[in-house]
């Protein structure tokens, strides 16, 4: 019994021992399973959180208006260094923009030969040998300065971390070469080096005015029209150059100033050839018969003669010291004072000048400032050649020889003698303060002279009939002269005033070395004809007429009073 009982106890303990082991084993398996699931959940949560974060970031970036930067060295800040320059209607002429230089860090280039091939595909004009030499060095270098947005995008698309974009502010000129002789340029450090940019350099960099553009008197549309007509005229008459100036006769505002050839001021190039000078402000010329207007003005203003006074027995030539002065054409022996101007008689002008006298003539030239450098908001101005009042000086000056001046000065003086006799100062800046006006001739003389200038254009014997355009009442005076210091070169000019019933604008047109166009047929007073002479009446006048015909409607629209007046006269 005891033995059986003992065996039973042993079996009982064994049973419980086995049960404990099995239970413990299961417990461990369950614990392991739970740990694994916890890790899976943790990993899932981590990945879900990352996906969520990236999703929010992508949505935020896609909705943001901020610029995505290509390089860490670029800044989103853009603080203007110079003010805008605009025309009289607020059209942008000059503005600072954010642009880039493109540089290379050779140490960051992997396959340099492959990289060089890519560069050549983008920029075929690059100096390959020079780039290769620098690429195998270890110093940072620029491959291209002042790249445009298209070039920047092409470089960026290469995906090369070695390419570094250096941001900087560049001056952009929206019209290219249209205002090249006026606006000028700035250097790479944004300092003005020519034109308006230089003259107003301090004002254009004034931080207090940085958001206020500098307003010019120029009109971009009219500037383009005149530029286009002048460019065509160079081809038509095979000229070497041309220039034009449009001015408001009441205040001296320069509405347009064109000098050809010109150049693109967005290209920072050194312009040294003389042909590129500003012919209007810096060019100094003998302007010929244009000066006869001043001779007649002085004779009338000093009451020496009247417009209808007949000068009798005018000789074919007149001697002065060792020289003989003649006319280009034959004129009647007896001419009225106004006919001397209408027919453009050299001899008649000399007779009037001698009646006026040297003192009065000298005083007029001094008061008009013709022999001084012109006053305008540019540093590129010419200085007329000095001369002495020796023998024959008054005689030659009377018809525009022996005296030099700039087109700017002579146009301003024409404006002054037709606006009532008030001397004006030319200006390129809107609402600029002009000096106190002074009288150069009387209002009465101004009206008489304007009527005579109208007859130069619309009378049968006038020299400028090709400028007679319906509705614009054009007046003016022609001038044909040899280039100062070079008799082989010719300067053909025409200064017009319109409308003469109420002078508002003065237009100067000049052609350098024009030739006769044998294929051009003129409508000359209703008759089809070719040019018989190479004078301003057959080229500069023709060009001025085309310009007035095109800009006239624009000026009339901007001048309500003139527009209404024109309509009334048309229907009367």
Residues 143-171 pLDDT 10s: 888 887 888 888 888 888 888 998 888 89
Asked whether the predicted pLDDT for residue 29 surpasses 50, the reply is: yes
Residue 8 confidence (pLDDT) above 90: no
Range 233-287+367-560 classified under CATH 1.10.10.10: no
H or E element at residue 445: helix 443-458
Percentage of residues of the chain with pLDDT beyond 90: 60
Per-residue pLDDT at 234: 97
Residue 204 or 275, more confident = 204
CA angle 75, 76, 82 (to 5 degrees): 90
Q: What is the pLDDT of residues 500-530, one digit of tens each?
A: 999 999 999 999 999 999 999 999 888 999 9
Q: How confident is the model at residue 428 (pLDDT cuts 50, 70, 90)?
A: very high
42 pLDDT tier (thresholds 50, 70, 90): confident
In the predicted structure, residue 65 carries a pLDDT above the cut 60: no
User: Distances from the Cα of 265 to the Cαs of 175, 240, 368, 388, 544, in angstroms?
Assistant: 9, 21, 34, 40, 27
CB 543, CB 233: distance < 8 Å: yes
Listed in order, the ranges of the chain carrying CATH 3.40.710.10 are: 233-287+367-560
3-state secondary structure (DSSP) of residue 269: coil
Mean confidence (pLDDT) of the chain: 86
Q: What is the pLDDT of residue 76?
A: 45
The DSSP bridge partners found for residue 438 are 423
Right CATH for 88-215 from 1.10.10.10, 3.90.1310.10, 3.30.200.20, 3.20.20.100: 3.90.1310.10
Q: Where in the chain is the domain with CATH 3.90.1310.10?
A: 88-215
Helix pair 112-122, 149-157: axis angle to 10 deg: 150
What pLDDT, in 10s, does the model give residues 404-415? 999 999 999 999
Alpha-carbon dihedral of residues 548, 550, 555, 557, nearest 10 degrees? 140
pLDDT at residue 561, rounded to an integer? 44
Q: Note the pLDDT of residue 571.
A: 33
Per-residue model confidence as pLDDT tens digits over 547-556: 999 999 999 7
Read off the pLDDT of each residue in 209-237 and give the average, rounded to a whole number. Answer: 97
pTM higher than 0.85, yes or no? Answer: no
Whether the Cβ atoms of residue 393 and residue 402 lie closer than 8 Å to each other = yes
Q: With 70 as the cut, is the pLDDT of residue 417 above it?
A: yes
In this predicted structure, the answer to whether residue 377 has a pLDDT above a threshold of 90 is yes
Mean pLDDT of 315-342: 92
Residue 419 confidence (pLDDT): 96
Q: Are 425 and 375 in contact (CB under 8 A)?
A: yes
Confidence at 28, pLDDT banded by 50, 70, 90: low
How much is the pLDDT for 563?
44
173 strand-pairing partners: 94
**Torsion angles phi and psi, residue 371, rounded to 5:** -100, 10
Determine which of 242-246, 287-291, 318-322, 560-564 has the lowest per-residue pLDDT on average: 560-564
Higher-confidence residue of 172 and 59: namely: 172
- Identify the H or E element spanning 545: helix 540-558
Top mean pLDDT of 47-61, 93-107, 330-344, 386-400 is at 330-344
Q: What is the pLDDT of residue 443?
A: 97
Greater pLDDT, 250 or 125: 250
């Amino acid at each position: 019994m005891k033995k059986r009982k003992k065996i039973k106890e042993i079996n009982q303990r064994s049973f419980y021992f086995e049960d404990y082991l099995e239970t413990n084993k299961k417990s461990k398996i369950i614990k392991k399973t739970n740990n694994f699931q916890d890790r899976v959940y943790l990993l899932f949560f981590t990945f879900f959180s990352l996906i969520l974060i990236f999703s929010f970031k992508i949505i935020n970036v896609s909705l943001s208006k901020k610029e995505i930067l290509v390089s860490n060295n670029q800044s989103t800040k853009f603080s203007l260094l110079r003010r805008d320059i605009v025309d009289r209607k607020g059209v942008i002429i000059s503005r600072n923009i954010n642009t880039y230089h493109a540089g290379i860090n050779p140490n960051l280039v992997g396959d340099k030969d492959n990289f060089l091939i890519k560069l050549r595909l983008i920029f075929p004009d690059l100096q390959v040998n020079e780039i290769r030499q620098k690429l195998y060095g270890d110093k940072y270098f620029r491959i291209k300065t002042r790249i445009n947005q298209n070039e920047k995008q092409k470089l960026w698309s290469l995906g090369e971390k070695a390419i570094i974009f250096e941001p900087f502010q560049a001056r952009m000129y929206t019209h290219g070469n249209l205002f090249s002789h006026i606006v000028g340029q700035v250097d790479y450090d944004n300092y003005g080096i020519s034109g308006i940019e230089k003259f107003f350099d301090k004002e254009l960099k004034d931080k207090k005015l940085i958001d206020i553009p500098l307003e010019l008197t120029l009109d971009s549309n009219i500037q383009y029209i005149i530029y286009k007509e002048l460019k065509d005229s160079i081809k038509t008459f095979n000229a070497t150059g041309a220039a034009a100036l449009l001015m408001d006769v009441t205040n001296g505002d320069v509405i347009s100033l064109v000098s050809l050839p010109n150049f693109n001021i967005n290209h920072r190039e050194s312009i040294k050839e003389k042909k590129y000078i500003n012919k209007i402000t810096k060019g100094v010329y003998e302007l010929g018969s244009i000066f006869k207007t001043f001779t007649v003005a002085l004779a009338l203003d000093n009451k020496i003669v009247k417009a209808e006074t007949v000068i009798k027995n005018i000789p074919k030539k007149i001697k002065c010291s060792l020289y003989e002065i003649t006319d280009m054409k034959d004129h009647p022996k007896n001419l009225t004072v106004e006919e001397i101007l209408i027919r453009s008689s050299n001899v008649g002008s000399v007779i009037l000048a001698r009646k006026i006298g040297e003192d009065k003539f000298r005083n007029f030239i001094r008061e008009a400032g013709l022999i001084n450098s012109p006053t305008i908001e540019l540093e590129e101005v010419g200085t007329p050649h000095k001369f002495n009042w020796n023998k024959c000086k008054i005689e030659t000056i009377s018809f525009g020889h022996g005296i030099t001046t700039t087109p700017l000065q002579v146009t301003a003086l024409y404006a002054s003698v037709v606006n009532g006799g008030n001397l004006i100062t030319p200006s390129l800046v809107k609402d600029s303060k002009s000096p106190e006006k002074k009288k150069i001739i009387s209002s009465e003389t101004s009206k008489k002279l304007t009527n005579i200038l109208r007859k130069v254009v619309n009378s049968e014997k006038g020299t400028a009939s090709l400028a007679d355009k319906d509705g614009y009442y054009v007046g003016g005076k022609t001038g044909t002269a040899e280039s100062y210091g070079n008799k082989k070169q010719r300067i053909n000019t025409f200064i017009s005033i319109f409308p003469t019933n109420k002078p508002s604008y003065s237009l100067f047109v000049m052609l350098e070395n024009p030739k006769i166009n044998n294929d051009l047929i003129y409508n000359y007073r209703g008759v089809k004809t070719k040019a018989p002479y190479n004078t301003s009446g057959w080229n500069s006048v023709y060009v001025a007429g085309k310009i007035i015909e095109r800009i006239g409607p624009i000026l009339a629209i901007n001048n309500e009073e003139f527009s209404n007046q024109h309509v009334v006269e048309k229907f009367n």
